[in-house]
Amino acid sequence: MTTSVRPEMDLPQIVGVSQAIREVLRLVDSAAPSDCCVLIEGESGTGKELMARRLCAKSRRKSQPFIPVNCAGITQSLFESQFFGHVRGAFTGAEQNMLGMLRSADGGTLFLDEVAEIPVNLQPKLLRVIQEQEVMPVGHPIPVKIDTRFIAGTNRNLRESVNRKEFRQDLYYRLNIVRVVVPPLRDRPEDIPTLLDHFTALYAKLYHRGPLTVSSAVRSVLMSYPWPGNVRELAAWVERLYATGLEAEVLVEMLLVEDQPRRDVNPPAQMSLDQVERRAIVQAMDLSDFNQRKAARMLKVHRATLARKLKKHKLA
């Protein structure tokens, strides 16, 4: 009789050369072999789930399930059923047994993404599961033992949430055995060129094209841009290069237009008439999702006029 062996989780590629990201990876790698809870904090788009997957891939549980759970997407009424599972007939609509996420991750790792979104009144139930390593399925009076590692992620400062009584202190201490803070991209601009080259090669392969060249002038602008969406936003910007076929100079100008405060509707006094015209066209094209008919309507010009001016400003 042969037993099937699960393939080991691939080590996720986390790109960066900065001291900040190297220190984060060092902490993640040191915590990976143990079964302790890990709390990963960081803004949206910084790569919290990648860090969680790295923790799993470097642990003894690397060939067991890794179950990511979006806590913000689970309604309060379904929390117990989806987390703990239920038995058939436990409530109206429970037509069959359901393991639930906790038992589905038995032997492996459960990643509680946006853990701060779990309602306060339900947090004690999660705390008990983590402490006792047992689950009480809905409609089943006998606890079921589990063997699960818990990793939590949040885009908030959970300590501040505790101070505001929005998150239970006892659960915070239970999750915060090792705290990993993933820095935003604006705090590690030296990682931007490396990430840019990585995503350029990645999307060239996905779109079956040769890698596009990004000039040093554009790279300089990208390094000074604050990237509110972090690495995810940078990846989307690079993919847009391949998806639209527009020049990097055009897309970086659109990026800067998007970043301007909405109240800044008047162009700077030092801009030439040509620069003002180009800026208006870039903004209209961006707002219309590159639809020339819509953009022409926004600019109140004929479509043929817009097409001519797109060529004039080398935007098409």
Give the pLDDT confidence of 121-156 residue by residue, as tens digits.
889 989 999 999 998 776 667 788 989 999 999 999
Residue 269 lies in a domain: yes
Share of the chain above pLDDT 70, in %: 86
Residue 238 confidence (pLDDT) above 60: yes
Rounded to whole angstroms, the Cα distance separating 152 from 68 reads 10
Q: What is the pLDDT of residue 285?
A: 79
Residue type (1 letter), 8: E
Is there a single domain that holds both residue 193 and residue 244? yes
**57-70 pLDDT, tens per residue?**
999 999 999 999 99
Share of the chain above pLDDT 90, in %: 54
Q: Among 129, 162, 183, where does a domain finish? A: 183
**222-234 pLDDT, tens per residue?**
999 999 999 999 9
Is there a single domain that holds both residue 195 and residue 99? no
Residue 95 confidence (pLDDT) above 60: no
The count of structural domains within the chain is 2
Q: What is the pLDDT of residue 1?
A: 39
Beta carbons within 8 Å of 227's beta carbon, 6+ residues apart: 184, 185, 186, 192, 233, 234
- Alpha-carbon distances of 288 from 100, 124, 155, 259, rounded to whole Å: 43, 48, 31, 17
Q: What is the pLDDT of residue 166?
A: 93
Q: Which domain holds residue 109?
A: 19-183
Rounded mean pLDDT of 256-274? 55
Rounded to whole angstroms, the Cα distance separating 125 from 122 reads 6
Are the beta carbons of 221 and 248 closer than 8 angstroms? no
Rounded to whole angstroms, the Cα distance separating 141 from 210 reads 60
Residue 260 confidence (pLDDT) above 90: no
Q: What is the pLDDT of residue 267?
A: 47
CATH number at residue 97: 3.40.50.300
Are the beta carbons of 249 and 215 closer than 8 angstroms? yes
Are the beta carbons of 187 and 11 closer than 8 angstroms? no
Name the pTM for this structure.
Answer: 0.79
Is there a single domain that holds both residue 152 and residue 280? no
**39-58 pLDDT, tens per residue?**
999 999 999 999 999 999 99
Residue 265 lies in a domain: yes
β-bridge partners, 153: 40, 113
Mean pLDDT score across all residues of the chain: 85
Q: Among 183, 210, 233, where does a domain finish? A: 183
Q: What is the pLDDT of residue 48?
A: 98
CATH number at residue 215: 1.10.8.60
b/e map 224-257, b = 16+ CB within 10 Å: ebebebbbebbbebbbbbbeeebbbebbbbbbeb
Is there a single domain that holds both residue 27 and residue 155? yes
Is there a single domain that holds both residue 157 and residue 201? no
Is there a single domain that holds both residue 36 and residue 160? yes
Is there a single domain that holds both residue 147 and residue 242? no
Is there a single domain that holds both residue 173 and residue 204? no
Rounded to whole angstroms, the Cα distance separating 296 from 274 reads 17
Residue 286 confidence (pLDDT) above 50: yes
Q: What is the DSSP string of 229-296?
A: THHHHHHHHHHHHHHH---HHHHHHHHHHHHS-TT--SPPTT--HHHHHHHHHHHHHHHTTT-HHHHH
**304-313 pLDDT, tens per residue?**
878 887 877 7
Q: What are phi and psi of 80, to 5 degrees?
A: -65, -45
